[in-house]
């Protein structure tokens, strides 16, 4: 889960933020690439969250037995 957070931060916040601060004109391909990387980061975050919730559910059900 931590690696997904780092990936999303690097792709979405740092890279996009640097490009906006420098006011560089991005090509449509590079713009789509950065957006796609941020999307992949969000997908990884979602999968990690689902896995975490499933593990919590399993732990709670084992504790009830």
**How far apart, in whole angstroms, are the C-alpha atoms of residue 25 and residue 21?**
11
Quote the pTM value.
0.70
pLDDT tens for 8-49 read: 777 777 888 888 889 888 889 988 988 888 888 888 889 989
Half-sphere exposure of 29 (CA within 13 A, CB side): 0
CA–CA dist 9, 2 (Å, integer) = 11
Domain of residue 27 covers 2-64
- Domain count for the chain: 1
């Amino acid at each position: 889960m931590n690696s997904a957070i780092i990936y999303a931060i690097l792709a979405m916040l740092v890279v996009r933020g640097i490009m906006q601060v420098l006011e560089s004109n991005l090509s449509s391909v590079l713009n789509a690439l950065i957006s796609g990387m941020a999307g992949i980061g969000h997908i990884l975050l979602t999968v990690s969250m689902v896995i975490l919730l499933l593990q919590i559910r399993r732990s709670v059900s084992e504790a009830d037995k």
